[in-house]
Amino acid sequence: MSMGWGAALKLRRVLENTEHVVAVELICAAQGVEQRSPLEPAPGTRRVYERLRSVVPPLLDDRPVGIDIEAAARLIRDGGLSDLAGE
């Protein structure tokens, strides 16, 4: 295996881990938005919140969140939030 191939594999793992970290952050931020009700987030934040909630339901009861994290990471990976940039 060449050094370039090894570096590419390492980069892939880094990107996958980053997707999961950002997914957890988004889920926590969405919960925070809900905790601050009746205050409303800014319009851009609202659009991201709504897009995330279309694939990840609110955490109303204790449950494993692995499926939620994967759904949020898939949303990031598939560019599901990229059309909201700059709106």
Distances (CA, A) of 48 to 4, 37, 73, 79: 36, 17, 14, 12
The mean pLDDT value of the chain amounts to 93
pLDDT value at position 77?
95
pLDDT value at position 13?
95
Is the predicted pLDDT of residue 34 greater than 70, yes or no? yes
Task: Give the SS3 label for residue 65.
Answer: coil
pLDDT value at position 1?
58
Is the predicted pLDDT of residue 4 greater than 90, yes or no? no
Query: For the segment 46-71, what is each residue's pLDDT rounded down to a tens digit?
Result: 999 999 999 999 999 999 999 999 99
* In the block, residue with structure tokens 């709106």: 87
